[in-house]
Structure 1
Amino acid sequence: MARTRNTTPFSLIDQAGWPRTRRAPARRGVVAAGMYSAALVVPGFHGATGHAATAAPSRAARIGEAEVATVRSMTERIADILDEHGGGHARPMAAAFLVNTVGPYLTAQAPDTVRKSMLAAASDLVYLTGWMAMYERRHRLGQRYYVKALKLAGAAEDHVTYCRTLRGMSLQASNLRHARKALELADSAAEASPRAGPRLRAFLAGQQAHAESMTGSPRRARARLGEAETALSKADGRRDAVGGYDASAYQFHVAHVLYEGRDLEGSIAAMREALRLQPTQEQQGRVHFNGVLAQRQFELGHIDAACESWGRFLDDYLQISTSRGDEHFETMRRWTRQHGTVRAVRELTARAKEVADLKS
């Protein structure tokens, strides 16, 4: 079958993300890509269940379990590339695969069981692509991917991806400081997961804790952290390629809750623990964790310690492509300008210039 970019139900795919062009985007396009709607109405799981999320089946092709396995395998590989090389490399690959391969699969003929499996596999990849768009600060685009993932998961009757996507939307809202929306989405994710296993329950409770702390409810936030810790202790040691949750992610939530409660020292200690527990292959996550740790150390007045953390941040930042990393890099340069006489800052500034030259 010929693969084209225009005959696909994935009209919401980020066409600008693949292939890359040298032409600078119009200012209007940049603004539109960054818009985020806190008033977005989220489709309920039961409202989405059973409704077709794709175009009418095509008679030109037929798919089976092998094609479903292909989508699952590619999703895992893209998640690995994200961890190791950053969203700047992984998201265009995901967008291209969605447009050229997954879109036609969704319109192909298939038995009902295969069609549901393909919808579920597609929803997983769309969720991951939305998470990457969010991480790359393309917030409106990320939100559109998330809504598409919800609809696909509903059509597939896939509770896990539906709840995980709501949790991703809560994280996006919290990143943008929409505290009430973050809590609403986190609570909706938890309520929609009656059959969730312990790892997913921990995943959802951790985000509820973060959102509760943002809305000024420290007692409820601590209770949610307790729920997350208990659930995580009952989970197996499996590492999920998409939407996983582990002890490192839990400590990151602890750090958020403590920070919102203005316990900077406690938050820094939790961030250090999160980094200690983080899997070595998660280089993009390590860039973000070290960037957050350094900012909080700097805020506390521990300049030398912040410079050490930013030094570790630069080690990984040099090797990956990530807009979130770019944001941390600019924050580092902006914050350190006011302490140019400190030796550690001077050394960090020189190193940062070398890194900027290499990445330019």
Structure 2
Amino acid sequence: MPPRRTHPVVNRALAALIEQAGWTHAATARHVNAVAAESGERVHYDRSAVGHWLTGTIPRPEAVGAAVEAFRRRLGRPGLRPAHLGWPEPGTPPSADDPWRGDPVARLAVLGEDDLLNRRTVLTAGTFTLAALSGLSRLSAHRAQGRAAARRAGAGDVERIRATTRAFADLDDRYGGGHGRAAVAAYLSREVTPLLHGTSGRRRPDLFAAAAELSYLAAYMAMDAGAHALAQRYYISSVRLADEAADLLLRATALRSMAVQAAELGHDGEALALAEAASSALAGHGPARTQAWITGMRAEAHAAAGTRWDALSLLRHTESQLERADSVPESEWTGNYRRESLEHQIGLTLTQLGDHATAARHFAASMRARRPVELRTRALIGLRAAHAFLRAGEVDRAAATVLDLSDDIRLISSARVRDELRGLRAAWQPHRGNALVTRADRAVAG
């Protein structure tokens, strides 16, 4: 029952949306807090705060953005604006902040600089939003024409960017997305984007492709660090730069990783749409290894959407595609997909289907096969294995898995790893009487 109110409801638009959502005031506050947390903004609203909003109080801008996004998701209305909640619109017109419009190079330059300077405009005001995903349908792959030539890109420019991207990617693999992100943002905004302005010549597509790869890495690192709004915009920049390079493989790569982000945030319908868009971008062409990488994501997304047989069929297709791959994984920057990657994908898909015992075995196989450089990935998948073992009733094996990972976990700066660990520690609370669980919990505490 709603609390007895002493002040009249002034904001009837907000009251109507709360009723449509089927939320209590406390539930409304929880959803706003959760959306804000996705972009690093820690707010702690409760039902009394919602009561104040109903009686005319306008929350802070970051809370307005989070509330709008929470209702978009609940009601399936990506076009919802602050005005629909009875709050004033921000001063900037909505279209001006549409990441799918405008000069992609100029947008990337601003994005990288804002990231580097830790500006709230990009890190918190822009929550990961379903509205941004709707822009994908308006933009087909193309190469923009008609920019004035300021300089000619050379092969050396392209190789330097790609060598630097590889170095940053190795750091990310070892220590997580929270390590070295400022250096990536600085290199992207101050070294790479100036090369893109007005460049011409036959190396122009290669230069834009190299920039798209670096933007993709920046997105992946931001996502791993928990800065989901920032990651979403970097991914969109990667898609747009790939389009400038007329590189469908890169476009598919970015869309596939956007599907991963949507899936990890619980947006199952959007994850499926993005995975299918990645597949459509390749249209059955491209390296078999990359096709397998995308098909595996489609399997996971179908499992989350509840289409079990489609998911299992796609998993079989993924394995077949991977078996046909005729290049070593290291030769392909996009879709660097190995057998251990497939084991992880099978584990994620089976988790969605509720088969935790089998998922645990696949997660464990993936973890064991990881190379020494993949410290973060090994820890993340190991924690997922432990959680699956726990759900399957294998408590000792879950605890032993975490104990084996405890030294590595302390080295890693990754919000995804922290969140997985936090969820696991909460899940094994009923088993704290188990001596092995107690040891494991102490080993990873703090």
TM-score band, normalised by the shorter chain? 0.7 to 0.9
Secondary structure of residue in 1 paired with 2:133? coil
Q: Which amino acid aligns with 1:18?
A: L
- Distance (whole Å) between structure 2 residues aligned to residue 141 and residue 192 of structure 1: 24
Q: Deviations over 1:125-176 (max 9, x none)?
A: 1112112212222111111111111111011000110001111111111111
CA contact (8 A) 1:68 1:117 kept: yes
Are residues 1:347 and 2:445 paired? no
- Which residue number in structure 1 is paired with residue 102 of structure 2? none
1:184 corresponds to which of 256, 268, 273: 273
Q: TM-score normalized by structure 2?
A: 0.70
Q: What 5-or-longer segments of structure 1 have no aligned partner?
A: 1-6
Q: Which amino acid aligns with 1:135?
A: D
- Which residue number in structure 2 is paired with residue 85 of structure 1? 175
Are residues 1:130 and 2:228 paired? no
Secondary structure of residue in 2 paired with 1:153? helix
- Distance (whole Å) between structure 1 residues aligned to residue 171 and residue 339 of structure 2: 22
1:238 corresponds to which of 303, 325, 329: 329
Q: What 5-or-longer segments of structure 2 have no aligned partner?
A: 1-104
Secondary structure of residue in 2 paired with 1:169? helix
- Distance (whole Å) between structure 1 residues aligned to residue 310 and residue 272 of structure 2: 12
- Which residue number in structure 2 is paired with residue 35 of structure 1? 128
- Distance (whole Å) between structure 2 residues aligned to residue 329 and residue 43 of structure 1: 33
CA contact (8 A) 2:289 2:335 kept: no
CA contact (8 A) 2:177 2:220 kept: no
- Which residue number in structure 1 is paired with residue 163 of structure 2? 73
CA apart distance, 1:245: 1.1
Q: Deviations over 1:35-83 (max 9, x none)?
A: 3326622446973412269x8554xx65311011111111111111111
CA apart distance, 1:282: 0.6
Residue identity (%): 26
Q: Deviations over 1:277-310 (max 9, x none)?
A: 2223211101110111111112222221111111
CA contact (8 A) 1:143 1:169 kept: yes
Residues 207, 42 of structure 1: alpha-carbon distance in 2 compared, 3 angstrom cutoff? farther
CA contact (8 A) 1:38 1:181 kept: no
1:166 corresponds to which of 242, 252, 255: 255
Are residues 1:255 and 2:344 paired? no
1:120 corresponds to which of 187, 195, 209: 209
- Distance (whole Å) between structure 1 residues aligned to residue 131 and residue 341 of structure 2: 25
CA contact (8 A) 2:123 2:230 kept: no
Count of aligned positions: 339
Residues 334, 130 of structure 1: alpha-carbon distance in 2 compared, 3 angstrom cutoff? same
Of residues 145-154 and 128-137 in structure 1, the stretch that sits farther from structure 2 once superposed is 128-137
Q: Which amino acid aligns with 1:313?
A: L
CA contact (8 A) 2:340 2:370 kept: yes
Of residues 82-91 and 119-128 in structure 1, the stretch that sits farther from structure 2 once superposed is 82-91
- Which residue number in structure 1 is paired with residue 142 of structure 2? 49
- Distance (whole Å) between structure 2 residues aligned to residue 85 and residue 281 of structure 1: 9
Of residues 328-337 and 263-272 in structure 1, the stretch that sits farther from structure 2 once superposed is 328-337
- Which residue number in structure 2 is paired with residue 312 of structure 1? 404
Are residues 1:143 and 2:236 paired? no
Q: Which amino acid aligns with 1:103?
A: T
Q: Which amino acid aligns with 1:202?
A: A
Q: Which amino acid aligns with 2:173?
A: D
Of residues 324-333 and 153-162 in structure 1, the stretch that sits farther from structure 2 once superposed is 324-333
Q: Which amino acid aligns with 1:122?
A: A
- Distance (whole Å) between structure 1 residues aligned to residue 204 and residue 138 of structure 2: 18
CA contact (8 A) 1:120 1:156 kept: yes
- Distance (whole Å) between structure 2 residues aligned to residue 158 and residue 197 of structure 1: 13
- Distance (whole Å) between structure 1 residues aligned to residue 138 and residue 364 of structure 2: 37
Residues 176, 109 of structure 1: alpha-carbon distance in 2 compared, 3 angstrom cutoff? closer
- Which residue number in structure 1 is paired with residue 186 of structure 2? 96
CA contact (8 A) 2:161 2:210 kept: yes
CA contact (8 A) 2:124 2:229 kept: no
Are residues 1:276 and 2:368 paired? yes
Residues 225, 76 of structure 1: alpha-carbon distance in 2 compared, 3 angstrom cutoff? same
- Which residue number in structure 2 is paired with residue 211 of structure 1? 301
CA contact (8 A) 2:290 2:334 kept: no
- Distance (whole Å) between structure 2 residues aligned to residue 280 and residue 343 of structure 1: 30
Secondary structure of residue in 2 paired with 1:88? coil
- Distance (whole Å) between structure 2 residues aligned to residue 217 and residue 160 of structure 1: 27
CA apart distance, 1:350: 2.5
Residues 46, 349 of structure 1: alpha-carbon distance in 2 compared, 3 angstrom cutoff? closer
Are residues 1:290 and 2:388 paired? no
- Which residue number in structure 2 is paired with residue 3 of structure 1? none
- Distance (whole Å) between structure 1 residues aligned to residue 257 and residue 135 of structure 2: 13
Secondary structure of residue in 2 paired with 1:13? helix
- Distance (whole Å) between structure 1 residues aligned to residue 369 and residue 388 of structure 2: 19
CA contact (8 A) 1:135 1:324 kept: yes
CA contact (8 A) 1:43 1:150 kept: no
Q: Which amino acid aligns with 2:263?
A: S
Residues 232, 281 of structure 1: alpha-carbon distance in 2 compared, 3 angstrom cutoff? same
CA contact (8 A) 1:8 1:99 kept: no
CA contact (8 A) 2:250 2:334 kept: no
Q: TM-score normalized by structure 1?
A: 0.86
1:224 corresponds to which of 314, 326, 329: 314
